[in-house]
Structure 1
């Protein structure tokens, strides 16, 4: 039996080599792997001794030779193949152990040159993997050191059957596909909507279940050479229970919301919709208390807290100690997510609950347009992310807003973008006081927002995530005390809406941009 070993990642390679020698495998190897094994005291045959050809082109060509690939690809039960090997002095290779040059880590190194990146595109390794995986019935392929134990535990007991061979072959092809996807992405540059598309993902963890207990679920990190190690794919969990599918959806929604603001922002999310929000120049502990006491504190129970700033001890203590303004009970939260947290604040926050999940997430470069993907049955929708943040609107009414109203209008407009359509938001003095989400008609969302806000809506600013097609939505907002309102504009009935706004003495604006969220 012969085994070809040619790896970049040498994790546990010496243990595997020891097992192979004990089971009477001849070891064949290349360059750095040969030196590694020889230094460990193993007797190893160099590849060029097998091929009769030296490594050339600075090591670019080592294993690309008929005496290697013939020994891998030959089918043992094919008489013609056996004759070809015999006539050409080629012996079978029964096991291939290889993994690839670290293209991804080099391509994402800001100091790497393009020549260095190109030199880390492995050619011989993927060819070995594809050849051995194709002939899995006769050749075992190991691409992941984590699978060495699978081989060792089953080979010598003759339990290593076609099922195991096929599994490892599939894993090898997947490894090559993932590798090639990253290379393709790097070389394509900004070709974002190409005719064919593959996405490179790496599993972070299996989840307890999916959106519901009867659904399976896993979390995968997006591997990208364009913007590596940013966003939720690179979060760090410092405390608490394992994250669920719904936890991750909510935490991502919360973090995306607060990071659309440049001022200090704190939000509490429930089922991806914001129930509490405060934005301003005050410190986070002050904003948090304003958000909870003036927002939807009932929905905040069991919610996800997010901020766009560092969490200090004062904010951590406020999260830990602030009681419900509704009934005075101790508040419960699922997650706290931020970009950074002081160590003393982290230690203090851990004491709130052993289950409280505390996450830090690398800030995302908002100048880069992440694509969003949603699966359909048998297809996928891909679009640019909605990164548009409008801070200037066109006044179309007679009444002009106060400075505070205009500030609230901007806050309301941004948060409205993060509410499920049809969406209406009310903001007063930098605080979300009412939110209506997910209604099939816009006036219904306005009523929900008003009912939530009650008298806190007096003097508030309102935002609609799309155009207001009929005056009734404006009338409902005004009934609750709203004094300024922004919508997309562009309806054939815009003139009617402006007339109603003027009659009700509202400041009325258009943004020119729609922010549907489904």
Structure 2
């Protein structure tokens, strides 16, 4: 049942006479509290925060003194008391509320400064079950929500970044805070508790292996306001969930312009693809354009892998994203710098390489500290009108699959290595995906077509274009292998690959016409390997 409102107008300015401070992140809190005290604000605090302020010589009233009740149960119960919440929730201009405050000796609290237990940090930092549960804050969110609800009279600060803003407002308004600021702080506070609770619910779902919780929530903290989204008329922001997976969200940007919405999207796609290649086994490079690879290769070095990847489609690589699975060194930096590149993302870069990249002031260089684990579980979500589609991250890896040869001819050892390479790449190409590979490098990529046969033909045509640009007599698809992200519904897609020069194919299988496709492969002497796993990417 809805609660009726009394429609008492909120005052524009509210004097701040008493502040309750209880913070987990104590950065900047001493200076903030000292400034408040200097303006005549009484400080009330809890446990560790109170001790930290007192050590700095500040006069602080402990919450237990305010409530007349000690902290108990290892600090789990300290602010959950009517003398605290009455001071937060009272409508100061309501006679009944005022009578209740006088009757129960409740003192008003005008400013609340709280940041919550570091649940996300402990969760993503590998804390055990008991540690994660103990870092679920109870009193903090209760006070945040109470203060935010009563923003007509109370200001709630949940982010140290807002300390300066609050002090400036107090200075400009003779010790009072304006209504608009209280509204904005309340909105931010509710967003914070929402993201906090979302992280807790996500953790429980993962821990209990609940595949589809009845309620699903996602939350994140703003890392960057974008100039615009995919197009200039769209607004956008970049939010961080706290997950420590190496990639664009956790990388250090060494140089270059601010990343755009499309840069971030493409860079994530590039690094997730290149992370399929174990850096202990091989050097690998992926070049991405509009979230699709236009060249991927392995090599003895990053420089060699880059040259092989670039040869696949040097036209599309212009203005692309380059992802590496090993440290960027000077020779590779020189090669990459020869054409216009938007972003380089790598686990690390030598000082010499950084100096070379620095000559291209607009080129963004991101360092991740490592590669992502392609087998790691996680969630992926996308919006649809009126809802969210949520699924597990595609963490299938070809090395873990039971590959079956279904044709008369089995692939050679070299073909099998190329087939596995091609299937790794196909996992990261928009469906319908066809990937031609030779010598552990892509030589033709067909992406995002409505028909699989069209993808096969487009990939072959791009290989022909690359050959002509390089002055080669014939495209590198002659003698290549081919990967398909899903089964061939008809033999025509396979026959297009054969026409392009493919000698072996890897595909999930499972079509009603598998026998027809296999028969066509046998008739042309093609080796076919079936994975049993599909990699649609829409």
Q: Please, what TM-score do these two structures have when normalized by structure 2?
A: 0.87
Give the 3 Å change call, closer, same or farther, for CA 33–368 of structure 1 in structure 2. Answer: same
Give the equivalent residue in structure 2 for 1:146: 161
The answer for the alignment partner of 2:364 in structure 1 is 357
What is the rounded CA distance, in whole Å, between the counterparts of 1:12 and 1:407 in structure 2?
A: 56
Name the structure 1 match of 2:48: 32
Please name the residue that 1:309 is paired with: 326
Question: In 2, distance between residues paired with 1:69 and 1:32?
Answer: 20
Distance 1:492 1:32 in 2: 67
2:407 is the alignment partner of 1:407: no
Q: Structure 2 CA distance, aligned partners of 1:65 and 1:399?
A: 77
- What per-residue deviation string (whole Å, max 9, x for no partner) do you get for residues 354-397 of structure 1? 11111122422333212111111111111112221225532222
Residue aligned with 1:27, SS? strand
Alpha carbons of structure 1 residues 493 and 154: separation in structure 2 relative to 1, 3 Å: same
Asked if 1:510 is matched to 2:530, the reply is: yes
Counterpart of 1:285 in structure 2 is: 303
- Report the counterpart of residue 125 of structure 1 in structure 2: 140
Q: Which of 136, 152, 170 is the matching residue for 1:155?
A: 170
CA RMSD of aligned residues (A): 2.2
SS at structure 2 position matched to 1:457: coil
CA distance in 2, matches of 1:55, 1:466: 61
Could you tell me which residue of structure 1 aligns to residue 380 of structure 2? 372
Change (3 A) 1:37 1:194: same
Indicate if the aligned counterparts of 2:490 and 2:513 stay in contact, CA closer than 8 A.
yes
Match of 1:180 among 176, 190, 197: 197
Within a 5 Å distance, the mapping from 1:110-509 to structure 2 comes to 110=126, 114-158=129-173, 160-188=177-205, 189=207, 190-224=209-243, 228=244, 230-262=246-278, 263-280=282-299, 282-293=300-311, 295-320=312-337, 330-351=338-359, 353-361=360-368, 362-391=370-399, 393-454=403-464, 455=474, 456-509=476-529
Q: Kindly indicate whether residue 64 of structure 2 is the aligned counterpart of residue 64 of structure 1.
A: no
Q: Aligned pair in 2 of structure 1 residues 509, 3: CA closer, same or farther (>3 Å)?
A: closer
SS at match of 2:53: helix
Which residue of the partner structure matches residue 94 of structure 1? 110
For residues 236 and 12 of structure 1, what CA distance do their matches in structure 2 show? 24
SS in 1 for 2:221: strand
Q: 1:413 to 1:102 in 2, by over 3 A?
A: closer
Whether contact under 8 Å (1:181, 1:200) holds in the other structure is yes
Shift of 1:96: 1.7
Is the Cα contact below 8 Å between 1:182 and 1:223 reproduced in 2? no
- Cα deviation, 1:161-188, whole Å, max 9, x if unaligned, reads 3322122112222222223333333444
> For structure 1, which segment, 300-309 or 183-192, has the greater mean C-alpha deviation from structure 2 after superposition?
183-192
Distance 2:124 2:494 in 1: 50
Q: 1:436, 1:447 within 8 Å by CA — same for their partners in 2?
A: yes
Kindly indicate whether the alpha-carbon contact (under 8 Å) linking 2:19 and 2:113 is maintained by their aligned counterparts in 1.
yes
Structure 1 distance, partners of 2:328, 2:36, is: 53
Distance in 1 separating the partners of 2:66 and 2:297: 70
Secondary structure of 1:418 counterpart: coil
* Structure 2 residue runs without a partner (length 5+): 1-16, 465-473
Q: Is the 8 A contact 1:30 1:46 kept in 2?
A: yes
Question: Are residues 14 and 302 of structure 1, via their aligned partners in 2, closer, same or farther at CA, if it must alter by over 3 Å?
Answer: same
Residue pair 1:200, 1:223 contacting (<8 A) in 2 also: no
Q: Partners of 2:157 and 2:417 in 1: how far apart? A: 60
Partners of 2:346 and 2:160 in 1: CA distance: 35
Number of equivalenced pairs:
502
Whether the aligned pair in 2 keeps the contact of 1:413 and 1:486 (CA below 8 Å) is yes
87 and 217 in structure 1: CA distance in 2 versus 1, 3 angstrom threshold: same
Pick closer, same or farther for the CA change 1:83–1:421 going to 2, 3 Å.
same
1:210-243 CA distance string (max 9 Å, x none): 111111111111224xxx3543321111111111
- Distance apart, 1:204 and its partner CA: 1.3
C-alpha distance 50-515 of structure 1, shift in aligned 2 (>3 A): closer
Gaps of 5+ in 1: 321-329
